[in-house]
Amino acid sequence: MQDVVEKVYEQVVGRNRGEAEFHQAVREVLESLDPVIAKHPHYAEGALLERIVEPERQIMFRVPWVDDAGQVHVNRGFRIEFNSALGPYKGGLRFHPSVNAGIIKFLGFEQIFKNALTAQGIGGGKGGSDFDPHGRSDSEVMRFCQSFMTELSRHIGPDTDVPAGDIGVGGREIGYMFGQYKRLRNRYDAGVLTGKGLAWGGSLVRTEATGYGTVLFAQNMLATRKDSLEGKKVSVSGSGNVAIYAIEKAQQLGAVPITFSDSSGYVVDEAGVDLELLKQVKEVERGRVADYVSRRPGARLVTGSSVWEVPVDVALPCATQNELDGDDAATLLRGGCTVVSEGANMPSTPQAVEAFLEAGILFAPGKAANAGGVATSALEMEQNAGRTRWDFATAEAKLAGIMTDIHDSCVEAAEEYGRPGDYVLGANAAGFTRVADVMIAHGIV
């Protein structure tokens, strides 16, 4: 079966040259599938693997917009509608200078299996632009979002493709895009975007969901060893939405998060992160981590090195892809880290993942651990369809239940295929088989 998998991977590399992140994501999944295909050879028939690694649709478009000085700019927009076997395409929009076709393809591919694990009836997709909202005025962001949505609106809808936010796309950007969609389509399709404001179709807990879910998954892993997060030191990378709410949930469960970061460096706060100050700096002022240090006695800013150098019990990488490499993994392990739960998409390099698996620590890949965000997006779609809204406790309870189900599905799949405790295999196998079974049922399409 290894020859079948390798052949498919070689085809992916040949067809998608220079898209390193996409190659990495495909290899990680395909390598996990060897025992699955050995046990169920029909998954290698009918070019199923070749179909699942090829997007159903790839959209790239020009996004012209005008800044406050009257200067015209041109960015690229992307939407990869990867797989709709389980439901409408679902996945975020990322606005960041690093965005290109390969990045969006990697994210969309990961989204297929992540969404399958939620059991919420959603397919996989992803999109975004190389536009950088940082430092832009609200008016400039609005004009960009309106231009972006003018083209994107042709391709999305509540039963076709439902985007959400991601890096660089928060409530402000979702609001501007929804307003333009409504204007263009003359329809109040509340379910066409998720991550909306509470006053116009948003869901409670959606803001917190990815960070909360990452921590809940870690708690579930620890429970298999009759342990918990209580009293454990936690390092968190990033300082965006995912990182902030991972810190919040970790504190609620009795842990002590002591780090966070942005592109300027990382903060160490041995007394425990002052969450309200962090929210003020990042969510209200849109400031830098140095602004936190200037107001927090005892906190220090570290530049020129890695946040993973801080000795902790639990690590939560919540920033971006490939932020934690093999050397970082070795440093974490030497420092006594026994749990890693990924809040970002593919934040650990293959070398880091290999080190964690060889050490036998509890390691949760992003497609399982950070699925809380998209799961709650699906819950937002459900509320929109019923024109209702649940209270916070109800939505959080549903999120907790979904994360427990994802954890248990990973555990069961890892055991079924002979590698108990391997959450990478478990997540890939469970997600793949759910999608593959439906693709077979739908025929060659």
| 241 marked as binding residue | yes
426: closest CA among 399, 405, 397? 405
Q: At what angle do helices 101-118 and 392-416 cross, to 10 degrees?
A: 90
d(CA 154, CA 159): 13
d(CA 314, CA 298): 22
d(CA 113, CA 22): 14
| 90 marked as binding residue | yes
Residue 126 known to be catalytic? yes
CA–CA–CA angle 178, 370, 224 (5° rounding): 150
Residues 6+ apart with CB under 8 A from 394: none
Which one of the listed residues 7, 39, 105, 126 is annotated catalytic? 126
| 115 marked as binding residue | no
Structure tokens at 443: 């025929």
d(CA 346, CA 350): 9
| 377 marked as binding residue | yes
| 111 marked as binding residue | yes
Q: Which residues line the annotated binding site for substrate?
A: 90, 111, 114, 165, 377
Residues with catalytic roles: 126
Q: Which residues line the annotated binding site?
A: 90, 111, 114, 165, 210, 241, 377
Q: Which residues line the annotated binding site for NAD(+)?
A: 210, 241
